[in-house]
Amino acid sequence: MTLALMLAAHGPLDTWSPTLMVALALFMPALAALIILTFTIDSRRGSALMAILGSLAMLGFAALATAIEVVHPGHLESALTFLQFFTGLPGGASEFSLQWGVLADPLSAVVLLALALVSLLVTLASLESVRRDEGFIRLLIVMLGTTFAMAGVVLATNYFELFVFWVLTSLGGYLLIGHRWRVPGAVRAARHAFLYLGTGDALLLIAIVYIFFRFQDLSFSRLSLAYTGGKVSANGLLIMALLVFGAAMTRAAQLPLHGWMTGAAEAPAPAAALVLSATVAVSGVYLVARTYDLFHASPRALVVVTVVGGVSAIAAAVFALAQDQLKHLLTYVTMSNLGVMMLALGAGAYSAAVLHMVGSTFAVAVLFLGAGAVTAAMRTESLREMGGLLPRMPVVGWTVGLALAGISGIPPLSGFWSRGAISSWLLSPRQTGAAIAALAAGLLVAAAAGRGFATVFLGSTARRRRFEPGRIQDAPPLTRTALWLLTVLSLVTGWWALPIAGHGFLSLVRAVGLKPASPSVGALGLTAIVAVAGFALGWALRGTRLVPRPVGRAVESGLYVSHAVALAVRHTVWAGAVALGFVDHHVLDRGVLGVEDAGTLVSRTVRRLRLGRVQQTTLGLLVGVLLILAAALIVTSAGFKVSG
């Protein structure tokens, strides 16, 4: 699509401003949400139309921006002032200002385009699967809002603006996951997500405060020059990078901060697809990619990113293999995939990691839309009760199968190219450990994907009481369309790794200071062998229970890490609250009791004097004031001695 636009509009592309295009793309979903809120809040049809129009407009502008960036790669910003005032401090701190604006470079344009595509198609799918549900319009508004927030994250020019939209994405994730607020599980999952994401927000805030303290600046482009300027020691940079990475970890569900992700599937299928593919989950990887200069300036932080990414990728793939529930399996596949991106970013395979991020965005959206259709048809999540769905749901089966194959690197699908590019980078300068981790994660995730696909779609449908497999139908037409379009996108994106007409992705989206990588044949071959072997292994393992039940359950819950954290926090806070309440009532109030008793005493004495009510109160007040003044004198003179 981009190529077509590029060819069709080669003239205007030279003159149109990419920042204007991305700004328009940013505001389209917000505008649509506002129009729905203001005008069509009572009309499902009108709201749906507005949502689709808003997403389409966003897609158009994002495509134009990408086309411009492909033809003329460059970094352009336009910023406005959010808040500015004079501080009266000497030197460079004499003016405090916070800016916001938009940033157009190849990275932001490409990610924005992927976001716009996923948002549009997911909204399209939502028109059907939730049209009769309660809160359909609310879902549309929140999905548009979350898209807007993520677009803001993508286009942010500085840490302040990034943080604003970052927190709004958390909020969007919370509202989407908790959309079905009558279902206790969904509400719990939403709370869980908000606390995890809120922790990430706090870490990012600390990082921002620290960066501002050190550099008196928050702009990405100015900071990228300042990091290496020697103004801050290596340890300072490491702390900054680790804080930023901590925030990214909560989003990209890196071990051990992954607890929110399995619950995210509680959202309605389109919302889950949006949260886990293009918005919340991806924002973590995008954060590291956007602030890559900071990581580049601190090699130790890059090592941490690599290790955490590698461990998460492998562990999540193992978790996925042991899953007994469809959506949990897909969640862990997604998480493993995000781990691979982190690993690649840490090891320096920047362009390949971004390509993998963009390509798998579409595949993940397919997975969760498809899983929604499957669970709706089967009315169960359990893998053991599924089977033989391919003939009954051909579109869902084929698209999910292709997405799973693509994400795990089967040639010639999308993930093959990006995983191959990552492996090429890892193998060429001999980063053996990282290369082995990436290949192992690829093998395991392919096995999990193959097992999942074979279990759900092949074999025979398991018999259950009061359930007739004959009545299973394929997904409704709009969802089918969305699934096919997303699948096609996920298949073709990877081919961009090849230098087509001199505009290869790997040379387009680059980090400063890293040489562009090109996929090598050996690495591609290795990736292909690993993926096919893994997929076949998983296929062979279909229907078998891999691990004993308790182990499986432990693995399913992510090794109870999040349970332990939740339990510890709950009990600590609860005990603290009880203790503080005790202090409030029995220690502090007792000190006040004297005053209170004095008041009662006065009023009693006065009552004995048979004075009227009004005088009583006034007298009580006066005596109270005098008493308090005396007490204050005593207390403060003691305090004064201490201080003086």
Closest CA to 344 of 278, 431, 245: 431
Task: Tell me the closest approach of the beta carbon of residue 251 to another protein, in angstroms.
Answer: 16
Return the residue of 199, 279, 375, 414 that touches another protein, per CB under 8 A.
199
Part in contact with another protein (CB under 8 A); list of ranges 201-209, 292-300, 385-393, 453-461: 201-209
Q: Rounded to the nearest whole angstrom, what is the least distance from the CB of residue 273 to another protein in the complex?
A: 23
536 binds another protein (CB under 8 A): no
Q: Between residues 43 and 636, which has the closer beta carbon with respect to another protein?
A: 636
Q: Which helix (H) or strand (E) holds 101?
A: strand 95-104
Q: Does 92 bind another protein (CB under 8 A)?
A: no
Q: Could you tell me the smallest distance in angstroms from the CB atom of residue 159 to another protein?
A: 11
Q: What is the DSSP letter of 275?
A: I
Cβ closest to another protein, residue 466 vs residue 590 = 590
Identified binder of another protein from the candidate list 6, 23, 62, 297, rule CB under 8 A: 23
Phi-psi region of 106 (alpha: psi -120 to 50; beta: other; left: phi over 0): alpha
Binder among 56, 205, 533, 537 for another protein (CB under 8 A): 205
Q: Rank residues 432 and 640 by Cβ distance to another protein and give the closer one.
A: 640
Residue 80: strand, helix, or coil: strand
Binding mask 362-381 for another protein (x = CB under 8 A): --------------------
Between 163 and 425, whose beta carbon lies closer to another protein? 163
- Nearer of residues 247 and 526 to another protein, judged by Cβ: 247
Whether the Cβ atoms of residue 150 and residue 138 lie closer than 8 Å to each other: no
Measure the CA dihedral 601/604/606/608, to 10°. -140
Q: Of residues 280-339, which lie at the interface with another protein (CB under 8 A)?
A: none
Residues within window 622-641 making contact with another protein, judged by CB under 8 A: 624-625, 628-629, 631-633, 635-637, 639-640
Q: How far is Cα 501 from Cα 490, in angstroms, rounded to an integer?
A: 21
Which region among 109-117, 317-325, 462-470, 585-593 touches another protein (by CB under 8 A)? Answer: 585-593
For 513, phi and psi rounded to 5 degrees? 95, -5
As a whole number of angstroms, the distance between CA 149 and CA 170 comes to 9
Taking CB under 8 A as the criterion, the residue among 16, 52, 56, 210 binding another protein is: 210
Q: Site residues for another protein, window 554-583 (CB under 8 A)? A: 573-574, 576-578, 580-581
Residue 212 found at the interface with another protein (CB under 8 A): yes
User: At its nearest, how many Å lie between another protein and the CB of residue 341?
Assistant: 26
Decide: helix, strand or coil at residue 90. coil
Minimum Å gap between C-beta 626 and another protein is: 9
394 versus 639: smaller Cβ distance to another protein: 639
CA 433/CA 442 separation, integer angstroms: 14
Smaller CB separation from another protein, 585 or 607: 585
Q: Distance between CA 225 and CA 296 in Å, rounded?
A: 12
**The one among 8, 600, 611, 634 contacting another protein by CB under 8 A:** 600
Helices 234-251, 280-290: crossing angle, 10 deg rounding = 160
Give 38 or 544: the residue with its C-beta nearer to another protein.
38
Find the binding residues for another protein in span 59-88 (CB under 8 A): 80-88
In the complex, least distance from residue 212 CB atom to another protein, rounded to whole angstroms: 5
Closer CB to another protein, 14 or 95, in the complex: 95
Closest approach, Cβ 289 to another protein, in A, equals 22
Task: Give the span between the Cα atoms of 402 and 363, in whole angstroms.
Answer: 8
Tell me the number of residues near another protein by CB under 8 A. 74
Residue showing tokens 């193998």: 427
467 binds another protein (CB under 8 A): no
Report the residue number, 34 or 533, with the smaller CB distance to another protein: 34
- Output 191 or 503, the one with its CB closest to another protein: 191
Query: Quick one: which of 589, 609, 611, 615 contacts another protein (CB under 8 A)?
Result: 589
Min dist. Cβ of residue 581 to another protein (A): 6
Per CB under 8 A, which of residues 30..59 are in contact with another protein? Answer: 30-31
Interacting residue with another protein among 132, 182, 465, 608 (CB under 8 A):
182
Measure CA 418 to chain center. Answer: 21
CA angle 255, 440, 550 (to 5 degrees): 55
Compute how many other C-beta atoms are within 10 angstroms of the C-beta atom of residue 628. 13
- Binding residues among 602-621 for another protein as defined by CB under 8 A: 621
Cα angle 245, 247, 251 (rounded to 5 degrees) comes to 110
Taking the complex as a whole, the smallest distance from the CB of residue 637 to another protein amounts, in Å, to: 7
Which one of 599, 605, 616, 619 is in contact with another protein (CB under 8 A)?
A: 599
456 residue type, one letter: V
Please choose, from the candidates 236, 223, 343, 338, the residue with its C-alpha nearest in 3D space to the C-alpha of residue 291.
223
Task: Tell me the CA end-to-end span of the chain in Å, nearest whole number.
Answer: 76
Among 33, 114, 150, 171, binds another protein (CB under 8 A): 171
Q: Which stretch binds another protein (CB under 8 A): 181-189, 323-331, 385-393, 403-411?
A: 181-189
Q: Which residues fall within 8 angstroms of residue 162, CB to CB, at 6 or more apart?
A: 153, 156, 204, 287, 290
Classify 83 as helix, strand or coil. Answer: strand
62-71 CB burial, b ≥16 within 10 A, e <16: bbbbbbbbbe
* Residue 40 near residue 46 (C-beta atoms within 8 A): yes
- 187 binds another protein per the rule CB under 8 A: yes
Half-sphere exposure of 1 toward its Cβ, with a 13 Å CA cutoff?
A: 18
Helix, strand or coil for residue 611? coil
Contacts of 561 (CB under 8 A, 6+ apart): 255, 256, 258, 259
